[in-house]
A and B are shown apart, each in its own frame.
Chain A
Amino acid sequence: MKTLLSKRRKVLLAVIPATLLMAAISAYASISSHHALLEACKHRELQLVATLIQNDLQEQLTKAAARASIAVNLPSVQEAFRAGNRERMLDRVLPVYVVQRDRFGVIDAQFHVAPATSYLRIYAPEAGHGDDLSGFREMVVSANKDHESRKGVEIGREGVSMRAIDIIKDEQGYLGTFEVGMSFMTLLNNVKKNTGFELGVFVDNDLLTRIATLLPKADAERIIAGFQNIGATDWKQIKPLVAPEILTQASDVKTELKTVAGLHYGIVTVPLLDYKGINIGAIIATQEFETYQTQMQAAIVRAVGFSLLQALVIAGIVIVMVNVMFVHTATQPDLSK
């Protein structure tokens, strides 16, 4: 009898842990698979937003180029430029570019002459006339030197913007360049409209304060780790998510998952490169990822529930079979004797 009970114990000790182990492995495999799937979805969504930001940036630059090309091809502007008549140039382009500013996010429109001298700022005709920009506006220098159009991000006296420069020439030859700068808010609002992400643009504060002398001084709370926020769709939501290391290490497109105040967020960092390809800041986009987290928790509940049910059924069958086959059979009197 003792031997049989010992055998029963051995069988149970082998089968029940094995059942529980298999159930646990099954649950773990299911949870891992869901986890991997949801993580892939999160990163794909973040990558998609990064691509949208980069594409929209290029689109804004193209739009800036299109707007610059209008003014440079107007014969009346070319004539006035040749004649050195700033008032007439302003009369010709101001009505058009006021509409561009009020409706389409143009914040800077300026004529230059070689090598890189400000000739006429459309929105501030009296400001900086004759100002030498060659020290910090390499786009202007390059366009005037090579007589070729340029586009890219660069910091100017009025701040940082997405810029395009086109050259102006008439039958007599080269005259100068005309530049259009687009506000980053246009890009941020576009991406927010398409994705629901909150976005902010950060630029090196030292560069801004040194070059953008016409820009009002920024609030201290808008400066994080030496980077100044120059625009955000909702600063209150962006601020707690932007850690200094996100900005200081923004050398490449990065995606990150972060938990703040118990809520899960996805964060995308797209480095902001200037015309020369030098990193001057970053565009940060962020979105609450609570939906993914809830789906993950539901997957865990399902996997654990099914595994426990599996263990309950298999363990039950084993216990009943072992008890019937080993214990009761052994204690039953042998009637054949």
Chain B
Amino acid sequence: MKRYLGFFLLLVLFLGQTAYAHEISMPKNAPRPLKIGVAVFVNNISKVNDQTDNFEASVDIQLRWKDNDLAFNTHKQGSNRLEFKYDAVEQKLASIWSPALTLANANIQSKAQGLFIYADGTVVLIQRVKAVFDAPYRLDAFPFDTQNLPIHLLSERYNTHQIALIQEQADLDNSGLRKGLSLLSWEPQRLKFVASSTRGWNGQFYPEMQAQIVLSRMPTAYLLATLMPFFLVMLIPTIATFFINLDTDKRLGYLSSSILALVALSFTYSSRYAMLPPGNITTQLVVIGSGYQIVMILLSVTIFNQINAKRWFTNTFIIPEIASYLRWAVPLAMLGLVLTRVLLIALIV
């Protein structure tokens, strides 16, 4: 048993040393941190899913760095650049140093690569990646929200002293969204970059960069789907209270059915927009609707109940005057409140 254990340990040590020996060291004559130019171009966005917190896209990621050891003589080579495609890329990458950046939030579906080495030692690695990217959606301003969908590049091997992710004008020029990029219910705005660093398990800091696709949601369809049923539900208590002459018990019957309809609408909202945070537009509508129902009940049992009204008000003319005023003022106030809340949600930063 001990012999097997010893053999196993030796095997582990040997494999570990082999892996270490194959690790290619960073370009020797290059300054530290070695600058890695990053460009991201978004070819297509096929799905934006705020229910599952991800999106599907095809992007070109271009990494550029300089390795003086790879510089060559253009006269000897007959060209100012070497080009590698398909399987040759993997073979060449295995023999040269590369920054080994990972797409931290991507579930890659397909990847195609191209590698160019220029005469002055500049290396350009282009990867066309189709992937499902995890994205934390901020839905406080739904349906007027603007999302920054990240493509997260992270260095897990080289720290901030060894490499720096940068963007020079050429990288910025090579970055962007494809012209004419269109999406159902979303409007692509622009691509922006955020560079930062993250603390690794060993206490060192590792560079990372996010290319963020800025998308604005087109709110019209969502607004109609949210507001129309709400106003229909609110129509019942409004008509029953202000515009039909009914006994109190019948009026309360209508109000009860409207309250049940509002509860049902609340459940529908919760299941349809389960991803929305507390305080979203649907919650606010349900709260406003509940308040409106309470006001309607109170009015029904006080001013619009003749027995109570006569008991409380000695002046017989005041009740019809108040009723006449409330008939237009209360629905108008509710409409104004809904409009104000919707506008304020639209203006959430």
A→B interface (CB under 8 Å): 99, 102-103, 232, 234-236, 291, 294-295, 297-298, 301-302, 305, 308-309, 312, 316, 319-320, 323-324, 328-329, 332
Q: Determine how close the nearest CB of chain B comes to the CB of A230; give it in whole angstroms.
A: 12
Q: Find out whether the CB atom of A99 lies under 8 angstroms from the CB atom of B31.
A: yes
* Nearest-CB residue, chain A, relative to B325: A316
Q: Determine how close the nearest CB of chain B comes to the CB of A182; give it in whole angstroms.
A: 16
Q: Give the complex CA separation of A294 and B340 in angstroms.
A: 14
* Nearest-CB residue, chain A, relative to B30: A102
Q: Give the complex CA separation of A309 and B341 in angstroms.
A: 14
Once A291-B349, A298-B344 are accepted as A-B contacts, the answer to whether A312 and B321 lie under 8 Å apart by CB is no
Q: Find out whether the CB atom of A324 lies under 8 angstroms from the CB atom of B329.
A: no
Q: Find out whether the CB atom of A102 lies under 8 angstroms from the CB atom of B31.
A: yes
Q: Find out whether the CB atom of A305 lies under 8 angstroms from the CB atom of B347.
A: no
Q: Give the complex CA separation of A83 and B69 in angstroms.
A: 37
- Cβ of B25 within 8 Å of any chain A Cβ, yes or no, is no
Q: Give the complex CA separation of A328 and B319 in angstroms.
A: 12
Q: Give the complex CA separation of A235 and B336 in angstroms.
A: 45
Q: Determine how close the nearest CB of chain B comes to the CB of A152; give it in whole angstroms.
A: 27
- Cβ of B223 within 8 Å of any chain A Cβ, yes or no, is no
Chain B neighbourhood of A232, CB < 8 A: 169
Q: Find out whether the CB atom of B347 lies under 8 angstroms from the CB atom of A301.
A: yes
Chain A neighbourhood of B30, CB < 8 A: 102
* Nearest-CB residue, chain A, relative to B32: A103
Chain A neighbourhood of B173, CB < 8 A: 236
Chain B neighbourhood of A312, CB < 8 A: 329, 332-333, 336
Chain B neighbourhood of A291, CB < 8 A: 349
* Nearest-CB residue, chain B, relative to A331: B317
Q: Give the complex CA separation of A308 and B336 in angstroms.
A: 9
Chain B neighbourhood of A319, CB < 8 A: 321, 325
- Cβ of B89 within 8 Å of any chain A Cβ, yes or no, is no
Interface residues of B toward A: which range?
20 to 34
Once A99-B31, A234-B172 are accepted as A-B contacts, the answer to whether A320 and B318 lie under 8 Å apart by CB is yes
Q: Find out whether the CB atom of A324 lies under 8 angstroms from the CB atom of B315.
A: yes
Q: Give the complex CA separation of A187 and B100 in angstroms.
A: 30
Chain A neighbourhood of B24, CB < 8 A: none
Chain B neighbourhood of A102, CB < 8 A: 30-31
Q: Find out whether the CB atom of B169 lies under 8 angstroms from the CB atom of A301.
A: no
Q: Find out whether the CB atom of B349 lies under 8 angstroms from the CB atom of A294.
A: yes
Within 8 A of A (CB), among B99-153: none
What are 28 pairs between A and B in contact, CB < 8 Å? A103-B31, A232-B169, A234-B169, A234-B172, A235-B169, A236-B173, A294-B347, A295-B349, A301-B343, A305-B337, A305-B339, A305-B340, A309-B336, A312-B329, A312-B333, A312-B336, A316-B325, A316-B329, A319-B321, A320-B318, A320-B321, A320-B325, A323-B321, A324-B317, A324-B318, A328-B317, A328-B321, A329-B317
Within 8 A of A (CB), among B152-167: none
Chain A neighbourhood of B339, CB < 8 A: 305
* Nearest-CB residue, chain B, relative to A291: B349
- Cβ of B295 within 8 Å of any chain A Cβ, yes or no, is no
* Nearest-CB residue, chain A, relative to B146: A290
Other than A301-B347, A323-B317, give 12 A-B pairs with Cβ distance below 8 A. Answer: A103-B31, A103-B32, A291-B349, A294-B349, A295-B347, A298-B343, A301-B343, A302-B344, A305-B337, A316-B325, A324-B318, A332-B317
Chain B neighbourhood of A297, CB < 8 A: 347
Q: Find out whether the CB atom of A305 lies under 8 angstroms from the CB atom of B317.
A: no
- Enumerate the 4 nearest inter-chain pairs by beta-carbon distance, A residue then B residue, closest first: A102-B31, A328-B317, A305-B340, A298-B347
Once A232-B169, A298-B344 are accepted as A-B contacts, the answer to whether A320 and B336 lie under 8 Å apart by CB is no
- Cβ of B322 within 8 Å of any chain A Cβ, yes or no, is yes
| Binary CB contact string for chain B from 153 to 190 against chain A (1 if under 8 A, 0 otherwise) | 00000000000000001001100000000000000000
Q: Find out whether the CB atom of A320 lies under 8 angstroms from the CB atom of B31.
A: no
Q: Give the complex CA separation of A133 and B336 in angstroms.
A: 74
Within 8 A of A (CB), among B1-55: 30-32
Within 8 A of A (CB), among B293-349: 315, 317-318, 321-322, 325, 329, 332-333, 336-337, 339-340, 343-344, 347-349
Q: Determine how close the nearest CB of chain B comes to the CB of A86; give it in whole angstroms.
A: 24
Q: Give the complex CA separation of A301 and B338 in angstroms.
A: 12
Chain A neighbourhood of B172, CB < 8 A: 234-236
* Nearest-CB residue, chain A, relative to B141: A294
Chain B neighbourhood of A302, CB < 8 A: 340, 344
Q: Determine how close the nearest CB of chain B comes to the CB of A326; give it in whole angstroms.
A: 11
Q: Give the complex CA separation of A316 and B340 in angstroms.
A: 21
Q: Determine how close the nearest CB of chain B comes to the CB of A49; give it in whole angstroms.
A: 19
* Nearest-CB residue, chain B, relative to A185: B168
Q: Give the complex CA separation of A320 and B319 in angstroms.
A: 9
Chain A neighbourhood of B325, CB < 8 A: 316, 319-320
Q: Find out whether the CB atom of A320 lies under 8 angstroms from the CB atom of B347.
A: no
* Nearest-CB residue, chain B, relative to A301: B343
Q: Determine how close the nearest CB of chain B comes to the CB of A300; give it in whole angstroms.
A: 9
Q: Give the complex CA separation of A158 and B291 in angstroms.
A: 73
Q: Give the complex CA separation of A302 and B346 in angstroms.
A: 13
* Nearest-CB residue, chain B, relative to A292: B349
Q: Find out whether the CB atom of B333 lies under 8 angstroms from the CB atom of A320.
A: no
Chain A neighbourhood of B32, CB < 8 A: 103
Chain A neighbourhood of B332, CB < 8 A: 312
* Nearest-CB residue, chain B, relative to A104: B31
Most chain B CB neighbours (cut-off 10 Å) among A291, A297, A312, A332: A312
Q: Determine how close the nearest CB of chain A comes to the CB of B271; give it in whole angstroms.
A: 30
